[in-house]
Structure 1
């Protein structure tokens, strides 16, 4: 058991030790670092390549992570009603996302570093989704109604929580981005599946 725990610690250290490349640093710090980074679009072939790439973990305490997190928030705020954003959407293939927490009072924006979904509910939600990186595309998607999420904050502290409803949908959408999965491609895969409508019951006191 101790050997297994040691391996996990060493794996985490190795993962977080993947420093930002010169290209990433140049991208993160370009222009005024207090402003939003431009949002990449699938209509641009070079930007689309980044959007389709596989992201890697980021060191939560790295100073460039702090800058990236803040500039991603500014980018999301600058949109017309956007509810989430992932690092690839600002040109950085790192596992960082922002999401609007409709499950909390005031629906605050929150960031998640190296997020992982540990568990998905079998009960699904069907609802509309769009994407800040895909112009004029919207469709209906099935997503798990409840997920168990693990992530880190900028202090390097790990968090685990259960998230439900529309916020869970947003998180699944943004985490898909980290694997290069776009809803324009996801819809084709969804069309090949069959979904059954099930009834839910609530006890009456």
Structure 2
């Protein structure tokens, strides 16, 4: 129990120590519209956009005065009825900071929730394969391998630290969005998985089992 508490405190300290405020350019972009104004979603077909999408994002200072407006505008963007999504990451709207919105299909009412400085700290060996798309890559879809269960740490808008276990399709969304924060696109995952060997078991994939079978 003591070791677990110390680990949580260490994560809290590291996350806050690395946190940064928005740059002047990011702040200008955020303040270019009100809370209900959608932001332009960056596209991989544009070279300048792609550079931002492939850039590693940094932790955000949860006390930054422009954070609330960014989250509001990101929400308006992902909820655009003309082009809705189930999640969005700040790099997709030109902000290389660790902020994401995810629709929680594992909760009553399937609400959208915002997560600050999210980090996946554990992934299950059991995996699943399912169709994915991306607001930044509208013309491509593919079946991506994702860990079935993850452990996530993050901060909420009040600056409170959380960690929780998440599974199923909602875990897939978190993996997709946190990949954006690392400069990774789902098409990169497709290319990566084509180099892996795996076994299909009732529509799911267990890479660990495949490794064990090859040892026998």
Instruction: State the TM-score, normalized to the length of structure 1.
Output: 0.89
Decide which structure has greater strand share: 2
Counterpart of 1:44 (choices 40, 43, 46) is: 46
Deviates more, 1:29-38 or 1:135-144: 29-38
Deviations 1:26-69 (A, max 9, x none): 11111334312111111111111111110000011211111111
The Cα offsets for residues 56-107 of structure 1, whole Å up to 9 and x where unpaired, read as: 0001121111111111111100153410100000000000111110000111
What's the counterpart of residue 143 of structure 1?
A: 146
For 2:8 and 2:171, locate their aligned partners in 1 and report how far apart those are by CA, in whole Å. Answer: 29
CA distance in 2, matches of 1:5, 1:41: 37
Matched, 1:90 2:98: no
Residue pair 2:15, 2:59 contacting (<8 A) in 1 also:
no
The more displaced of 83-92 and 59-68 is 59-68
Please give the residue correspondences for 1:1-205 in structure 2 after superposition, counting only pairs within 5 Å: 11-16=14-19, 18-79=20-81, 80-198=83-201
Q: CA RMSD in A?
A: 2.2
Distance 1:103 1:61 in 2: 29
Alpha-carbon deviation of 1:15?
1.6
In structure 2, the CA distance between the partners of 1:94 and 1:11, relative to structure 1 (3 Å rule), is same
SS in 1 for 2:195: coil
Deviation at 1:154, TM superposition (A): 1.1
Q: State the 1:6 CA deviation.
A: 8.7
TM-score after normalising by structure 2: 0.85
Q: Say if 1:6 and 1:138 are closer, same or farther in 2 by CA, change over 3 A.
A: closer
Unaligned runs of 5+ in 2: 205-216
**Cα separation, 1, equivalents of 2:111 and 2:32:** 27
Counterparts of 2:7 and 2:164 in 1: how far apart (Å)? 24
Give the distance between the partners of 1:10 and 1:99, measured in 2 at CA.
Answer: 25
CA separation of 1:131 and 1:6: change in aligned 2, threshold 3 A: closer
**Unpaired stretches in structure 1, ≥5 consecutive residues:** 201-205
Aligned length: 198
Q: CA deviation at 1:197?
A: 2.8
